[in-house]
Structure 1
Amino acid sequence: MSTTLKKVAASAAAALAATTAFVAASSPAQAASRDGVCDTGELCLYYNSDNAGAISDFTTSIADYGTTQPSCYDFKTDKAGHGLCVKNEAASVWNRTGKSVTVYFNSDFAGASQTFTDGTKANLNATLKNNNASHRIGSGGGSSSGFLLPFPCGETWEGQTRSNHSPSLAVDFNHYPDDLGWKVYASAPGTVTTVANLGNTSYGRYIVISHAGGYKTYYAHLSSQDVSVGQSVTATTMIGRVGSTGGSTGPHLHYEQRLNGTVVKATFKDGSPAYPNNTTNLQRKQSCP
């Protein structure tokens, strides 16, 4: 082979080697930015509770962690869990993204979820610990993908919104022809903070549940309350039954989602009410009680 041809062959081999190295470094499980160090701007999943063990660090939302190498997202740090796929193995979180982050039980941002505000270092709850398959950073990580309709699967409920409602972003749920006594469920994991009875005024019998990320949900006009203050609940916990207590003029569930004390538009994984002044048929389809 001539000297010129040898130089061309050598250049081609070097280019191919560089391209191969780039592709390998860019695969999901081996991305250069994922080095097992929890840096500013990253979501870090830990193999063990209390932010211990190997770390898997992310800067973007991931819809599916994967289950096998070389394509799965793995734990990078040379500690317990190193090299294992993250799916169904993470136990704790440090959110340094600057945004709210939601971790999900299922892939594609579905199933039970837990939301972490920026700066939070915490263990995954009993539902999500070692049962996690995706996470979403920023928009969509709060109520729009974090809550389920507060009823059993298979039931169709009308979600009514109206501008003269108090508060205006609350939702009234009805199940025809008669919804008195129908079961009400928590719409996300959380802790019961209020179980109260205002008599014949306002909310009447009502319950408030606090959730991760600064969210609270309100359930009012109940005929019965079947939880107590301080009780931990999941999205499959029955908390009470539909009633017509307080200032209600007929059986229905008055429902609110609040973020840091402010009522926001109620949104759910399986569809959401339309605002304002609309009636929408809604049905829970996942995480069925």
Structure 2
Amino acid sequence: MKKIASAFALAVAAVAVVPGTAFASHDSGTSWGDTGRCEQAGSKICLYYNSNQAGAEFVSYAGVGHGIEIPNLAGYTYPGGGAGTGQAVKNNSASAANRMSPGCTLYVYYNSNYSGASDYLSSGSHGNLYNTYNNNASINQFC
């Protein structure tokens, strides 16, 4: 019985993910789905109300020569266009897309002011949030 318990504990430990170190699933392919504004290339990031880049879409554009930094997503809402329209972006995002220039990484943080567990997306990729699924409070992009 003790061997079974040890094997179970080892299996659980093998699947555990250290918070802030991974993005559960991302795709750098060309299938952007029916997302509208985030389909076109440009300097922007997108957060989605639902998984798989579905539902209402929040888009933030980078200024010329600047990255995107939002230390607190409070006060931002999803504009019209699908499930989640009118809902707060903070703690309501299930997936994201990074349409920034090559070499720019998007980080989504659990807490405000860029702290706590995080998910990341390299430029040109998109995917479901894992560590910050529906518990996202700030975003930051580094180039």
TM-score by length of 2: 0.65
- 2:73 corresponds, among 52, 65, 81, to 65
Deviation at 1:118? Answer: 0.2
Assess if the C-alpha contact under 8 Å between 1:56 and 1:77 holds in 2.
Answer: no
Once the two structures are superposed, residues 196-232 of structure 1 have per-residue CA deviations (whole angstroms, 9 ceiling, x without a partner) of: xxxxxxxxxxxxxxxxxxxxxxxxxxxxxxxxxxxxx
Matched residue of 1:122: which SS?
strand
Deviation at 1:37? Answer: 2.2
Distance 1:44 1:97 in 2: 10
Assess if the C-alpha contact under 8 Å between 1:37 and 1:77 holds in 2.
Answer: no
Once the two structures are superposed, residues 22-77 of structure 1 have per-residue CA deviations (whole angstroms, 9 ceiling, x without a partner) of: xxxxxxxxxxxxxx7224211000000000000000122100011xxxxx111123
Distance 1:89 1:81 in 2: 8
| Residues 27-176 of structure 1 mapped to structure 2, 5 A cutoff | 37-38=37-38, 39=40, 40-59=42-61, 60-66=68-74, 72-98=75-101, 99-125=104-130, 127-139=131-143
Distance 1:103 1:77 in 2: 22
Number of matched pairs? 98
Letter in 2 for 1:61: E
Distance 2:109 2:80 in 1: 23
Matched residue of 1:137: which SS?
strand
Matched residue of 1:108: which SS?
coil
Deviation at 1:113? Answer: 0.7
Distance 1:88 1:107 in 2: 11
Matched residue of 2:97: which SS?
strand
Distance 1:117 1:102 in 2: 9
| Structure 1 alignment gaps of length 5 or more | 1-35, 67-71, 140-289
Greater relative contact order structure (CA < 8 Å, 6+ sep)? 2
From the CA coordinates, give the structure whose radius of gyration is larger. Answer: 1
Matched residue of 2:86: which SS?
coil
Q: Could you tell me the percent identity over the aligned residues? A: 39
Distance 2:135 2:117 in 1: 10
Task: Flag as ranges the 4+ runs of structure 1 deviating above 6 A.
Answer: none
Distance 1:78 1:92 in 2: 16
Counterpart for residue 4 of structure 2: none
CA gap of 1:105–1:44, structure 2 versus 1, over 3 A, is same
Matched residue of 1:135: which SS?
strand
TM-score by length of 1: 0.33
